[in-house]
Amino acid sequence: MRKALAIDVGGTKIYSAIIDENGEILSEIEKHATPKTFDEIKSTFRQIIEKHEDNVDVIAFSTCGAVNNQNDGIVGSTGNIANDYPLIKFQELSDKPVYVENDANCAAWAEYKIGASKGCANSVMLTLGTGVGGGIIVNNKLLKGKNGAAGEMHFKMYSDKRRKCSCGSWDCFEIYASGKGLKLTAEEMLDNPDVTTYDVVEGVAKGDKKMTDVLNRWQNDIANGIIGLANIFDPDCIILSGSMAEFVDTNRVEAEVNSQIVTTPTKVLKATTGNYAGMIGAALLALEVHNG
């Protein structure tokens, strides 16, 4: 069976593994801290690739940042990684074919091929973490847009400038539905700048009424965002992944969404492919495109 060396590049960590056409992880997961400079990042990639490239058919990157429609380079900025990282020429890293896709898109693809949205021609995946990532599948293909940057979950939840978003604009879905969004909701509702997401989650577990109200407000914001996406895409399902997804009651959100949309009922489901969805999706995409 054909295999990919999958490399997941985030702002703080770089993971790698060998993954086959079924999405099975065949090796141990290797982990590196993401270096601070362009040269060190490139050197880390070379080190990982040299070790494994003879044993695989393709190199598959799942990376932060928007990836172009040629799947060989990064478009625009990438948040918390070296500023010049987007200049990297991925194909020069190996003599094997190198395929690159955005990490949220890769994770959406993993869910579509072997996870919660398997067989769904139209789905939207939301990765709820420190921020919010998005990967959208339309008609069995990743939605990429004109330059590959589609799927950014920066649509407004309010239009009167309440919360500044990491993108520089105001009141995006990300700054409400993310972990940071939950903290800000708690701060506002409890009038306490020191409250943490952990305090909320722990409070809810203990049955604290105020913390439960905070979590429910956060879930309502998630539902409000999904309502818009469901009306725009009429998707088979919405998949929630990322570290914050575990705190979402998907039945509650699904019921709220279906009570408000004008399109046909959709499902709200949790992702099932786990922490390495990005690598799995990258491998499956790369092996499909470079199919011998």
The pair of three-digit structure tokens given for residue 80, joined into one six-digit string: 């918390």
> Of residues 28, 54, 160, 194, which one binds a copy of itself by CB under 8 A?
160
Does residue number 262 form part of the binding site for a copy of itself (CB under 8 A)?
yes
Sign of CA dihedral 157, 160, 163, 165: positive
Does residue number 234 form part of the binding site for a copy of itself (CB under 8 A)?
yes
Residue 225 or 278 with smaller CB distance to a copy of itself: 225
Does residue number 218 form part of the binding site for a copy of itself (CB under 8 A)?
no
- Distances from the Cα of 21 to the Cα of 113, 201, 227, 283, 284, angstroms: 10, 38, 35, 7, 6
Does residue number 227 form part of the binding site for a copy of itself (CB under 8 A)?
yes
Sign of CA dihedral 54, 57, 62, 63: positive
Range in contact with a copy of itself (rule: CB under 8 A) among 104-112, 145-153, 191-199, 239-247 = 145-153
CB of 264 to a copy of itself, least distance (A): 4
Does residue number 153 form part of the binding site for a copy of itself (CB under 8 A)?
yes
DSSP 104: H
Contact letters (x/-) for a copy of itself, 50-79, by CB under 8 A? Answer: ----------------x--------xxx--
DSSP 100: E
Binders in 23-52 for a copy of itself, by CB under 8 A: none
Sign of CA dihedral 184, 189, 190, 191: positive
> Of residues 43, 55, 83, 169, which one binds a copy of itself by CB under 8 A?
169
| Residue appearing with tokens 């979950």 | 153
Does residue number 85 form part of the binding site for a copy of itself (CB under 8 A)?
no
Does residue number 140 form part of the binding site for a copy of itself (CB under 8 A)?
no
> Of residues 32, 46, 156, 163, which one binds a copy of itself by CB under 8 A?
156
Strand blocks (E) in the chain: 3-9, 13-20, 30-33, 58-63, 66-67, 74-75, 98-102, 123-128, 132-138, 141-142, 237-241, 267-270
Residue 227 or 284 with smaller CB distance to a copy of itself: 227
The Cα 47–Cα 75 span in angstroms is 25
Does residue number 139 form part of the binding site for a copy of itself (CB under 8 A)?
yes
Which strands sit side by side in the sheet containing 123-128, from one edge to the other?
141-142, 132-138, 123-128, 237-241, 267-270
**Which residues are near a copy of itself by CB under 8 A?**
66, 75-77, 120-122, 134, 136, 138-139, 141, 143-160, 167-169, 176, 220-221, 224-225, 227-229, 231-236, 260-264, 266
